[in-house]
A = this chain, B = another copy of it.
Amino acid sequence: MKIAAYLLLALSFLMMACNEPQTERAEWALALHGGAGTISKDIPDTLKQQYYDGLRQALRAGEIILREGGSALDAVEYVVRNLEDNPLFNAGKGSVFTAEGKHELDAAIMDGSTLAAGALTGLTTIKNPVTLARMVMEDSPHIFFSGVGAEEFANQTDVERVENEYFFTETRYQQWQRAQTDNASIFPKAEWTEGDYFGTVGAVALDKNGNLAAATSTGGMTNKQFGRVGDVPIIGSGTFANHVAAISATGWGEQIMRNVSATTIANYMEFTGSTLEQALDFVLTERLNPGDAGFVAVDADGNISMKMNTEGMYRGSIDSRGNRVVMIWEDE
């Protein structure tokens, strides 16, 4: 019996030692997503590889900033810019088409340490919406601008402009043609294939100074009605950061909005004392329905959680403890 007790004690110590690197606070951490939905596992290997490469490239953009002691705010902005510039994802270049055959972009960014935020909806000429969102945050007394007012705000800045056609890609054009025939944006869930209709990009980060930040950007919903505002630029729904956690959402915008999902995750964690992972589980199972959404999140200790109740979510994370993940489906 005595030997068994000693063995148990030794085992306990061993387990504690093994777990230690994971329970220590990470110096910095970063997670990102490139959209959630029904993503077929049958997509060609070359395309699959392009997605993985895109996610890795974006992770590297953030890693360099955070490793060198840069701010979480810089990291999430540059990661999202990188994903906006990648035509594979529904944000910036490669955004989906509206019902009118144009591109209307939304974005938001939030600094968890100050609760400063910037958000935009209905952009038509801004190459990198997340960068203009940061300008709103830093240079305006307001948080959120829409449509023509947002473009007018942009006129006062040196943000890079493009023609609306810049956002065109052949793939999105074909999706829009299909969507027009089956009116997909009205009942989007039945139509989800390979993230065709939804899709968002986002990033969350903790920096070496302990500050959290979140950013999200999207081309919205394929065939969406003119002027529809989704969850992405809604502080509290698609994008949120405070002293507890930073969260970026992707999925069915209206479901994410009516549940004020991002802030509810942060509040659940803060008010119930649960872990970040438990908070994501709560919102994904108790508030949202299967197929609705996915989240990437990081807390003040550098814990990362990336969860969805959809079949897949393009996602990746990296932290100062050497964890590095790039995934699309639940089990890989």
Question: Chain A interface (Cβ within 8 Å of chain B)?
Answer: 110, 115-117, 119, 121-122, 140-150, 152-153, 185-188, 224-230, 234-237, 240, 253-254, 257-260, 263-264, 267-268, 271-272
Least distance between A76 CB and chain B CB atoms (Å) = 17
Residues of B near A185 (CB, < 8 A) are: 141
How many copies of the shown chain assemble into the complex? 2
How distant is the Cα of A222 from the Cα of B54 in the complex, in angstroms? 45
Least distance between A257 CB and chain B CB atoms (Å) = 5
17 interchain pairs (CB within 8 A)?
Answer: A115-B258, A115-B259, A116-B258, A121-B146, A121-B229, A122-B147, A142-B228, A144-B230, A144-B257, A145-B225, A149-B228, A153-B227, A235-B258, A235-B260, A236-B236, A236-B263, A268-B271
Q: Which residue of B lies closest to A227 (CB)?
A: B149
- Which residue in B153, B225, B267 is a CB contact (below 8 Å) of A268? B267
B254–A141 touching, CB < 8 Å: yes
Residues of B near A260 (CB, < 8 A) are: 235-236, 240, 260, 263
Closest CB pairs A-B (n = 7): A149-B227, A236-B260, A271-B271, A267-B267, A146-B146, A144-B229, A147-B147
Residues of B near A140 (CB, < 8 A) are: 225
A226–B144 touching, CB < 8 Å: no
Residues of B near A115 (CB, < 8 A) are: 258-259
A122–B142 touching, CB < 8 Å: no
How distant is the Cα of A253 from the Cα of B153 in the complex, in angstroms? 19
Q: Which residue of B lies closest to A224 (CB)?
A: B142
A-B contacts besides A142-B224, A148-B148, 10 pairs, CB < 8 Å: A115-B259, A122-B147, A122-B149, A143-B254, A144-B228, A144-B257, A149-B226, A235-B237, A236-B260, A268-B271
How distant is the Cα of A234 from the Cα of B108 in the complex, in angstroms? 14
A117–B257 touching, CB < 8 Å: yes
Least distance between A235 CB and chain B CB atoms (Å) = 5
Residues of B near A240 (CB, < 8 A) are: 260
- Which residue in B153, B188, B267, B272 is a CB contact (below 8 Å) of A225? B153
Give the interface centre of A145, A187, A228, A272 by most chain B CB atoms within 10 Å: A228
How distant is the Cα of A236 from the Cα of B148 in the complex, in angstroms? 25
How distant is the Cα of A230 from the Cα of B119 in the complex, in angstroms? 11
How distant is the Cα of A241 from the Cα of B268 in the complex, in angstroms? 17
How distant is the Cα of A278 from the Cα of B254 in the complex, in angstroms? 30
Q: Which residue of B lies closest to A259 (CB)?
A: B115
Residues of B near A268 (CB, < 8 A) are: 267, 271
How distant is the Cα of A263 from the Cα of B258 in the complex, in angstroms? 10
Residues of B near A187 (CB, < 8 A) are: 141
How distant is the Cα of A150 from the Cα of B117 in the complex, in angstroms? 24
How distant is the Cα of A26 from the Cα of B281 in the complex, in angstroms? 34
Q: Which residue of B lies closest to A271 (CB)?
A: B271
Residues of B near A142 (CB, < 8 A) are: 224-225, 228-229, 254
